[in-house]
Structure 1
Amino acid sequence: MTDVLLCVGNSMMGDDGAGPLLAEMCAANPVGSWQVIDGGSAPENDVVAIRELKPARLLIVDATDMGLNPGEIRVVDPDDIAEMFLMTTHNMPLNYLVDQLKEDVGEVIFLGIQPDIVGFYYPMTPPVKTAVESIYQRLAGWQGQGGFDKL
């Protein structure tokens, strides 16, 4: 069974580049059996590719304003994404993407990283970079929700 890691974000917008940074790290040094997709700022464009893979598990990683300290990581229930009005810079809300994939994916885990600065041409802040490294380190032995707390 395939596991898919969907990395979401815009690398030109500071901390919103957390997802693309994780995708770059995985491309440079793959870990575990993850099939990595860099969804950029329009992850809905990858729905067909994900459906074709029929993953047992889909892990979505995105910088998400959850009202926490910068760099904090939380598992967000995909069913709560729309209700929480999570701040996102993407073309479509991520709950739309999750709804499109529910029938074709065994389990969907949404992992949010609290950003500090999201703006064009800002560098990624150290707490968010550290958070991405933490997620990367846990991918090889990923169990359940990766050991991250729920929001």
Structure 2
Amino acid sequence: MTNASSDAERTAKVLLCVGNSMMGDDGAGPLLAQQLADRPIYGWQVVDGGSAPETETVHIRELAPKLLVVVDATEMGLNPGEIRLVDPDSIGEMMLMSTHSMPLNYLIDDLRDAVDEVVMIGIQPDIVGFCYPMTPPVSQAVAALYQKLADDEWRQIPQLTAEGERC
């Protein structure tokens, strides 16, 4: 067998949740990972990447998912709690703010040969600071995103546009 898994062995959908639960709204990804651990959604495998998601690349490569959805609190210049699909190819160009040691576009580029499709979902944070609690708009957004995943309606999330939605 080669490095690539056969289609029968591949995981269909992996959700990579990114963020730091000790940093207020940056904990959106880990909160979603916890909700999925508590109430799994059929067909989705969750990976909690925490604040160093690059440490999960080997695991994700082993899963060889057909679809990888990366969820992270992302500064997009929107109202707190707004959710957007973010084109992974434009992450670097849009200079989206991240609190992680490695920019997500590098991580996504690294995984492209192991994954058929990569999608990023950003949740607009309000307060990102050490020991701050998550704000209600962001925790409500996480609950709404969980429901969209459960109802298989996540692809209906609006796309982040390059103009008019960023600072």
The unaligned stretches of length 5 or more in structure 2 are: 1-10, 161-167
User: Paired residue for 2:40?
Assistant: 30
CA shift, 1:142, in A, is 2.1
CA shift, 1:150, in A, is 0.3
Q: Secondary structure at the match of 1:20?
A: helix
In the alignment, the residues of structure 1 paired with residue 129 and residue 98 of structure 2 have an alpha-carbon distance, to the nearest angstrom, of: 12
In the alignment, the residues of structure 2 paired with residue 146 and residue 32 of structure 1 have an alpha-carbon distance, to the nearest angstrom, of: 17
CA shift, 1:63, in A, is 0.2
User: Paired residue for 1:76?
Assistant: 86
User: Paired residue for 1:12?
Assistant: 22
> Any residues of structure 2 matched to 1:1-151 within 5 Å, and which?
1-142=11-152, 145-151=154-160
Q: TM-score, normalised by structure 1?
A: 0.96
User: Paired residue for 2:7?
Assistant: none
- The superposition leaves residues 81-139 of structure 1 with CA deviations (integer Å, 9 ceiling, x where unpaired) of 01111110001000000000101101111000000000000000000001000110111
The unaligned stretches of length 5 or more in structure 1 are: none
Q: TM-score, normalised by structure 2?
A: 0.87
* AA of the residue aligned to 2:110: Q
In the alignment, the residues of structure 2 paired with residue 149 and residue 32 of structure 1 have an alpha-carbon distance, to the nearest angstrom, of: 24
For the Cα contact (< 8 Å) 1:14–1:120, is it kept in 2? yes
Alpha carbon RMSD of aligned pairs, Å? Answer: 1.0
* AA of the residue aligned to 1:22: L
In the alignment, the residues of structure 1 paired with residue 46 and residue 53 of structure 2 have an alpha-carbon distance, to the nearest angstrom, of: 12
Greater radius of gyration (CA): 2
* AA of the residue aligned to 2:12: T
For the Cα contact (< 8 Å) 1:32–1:139, is it kept in 2? no
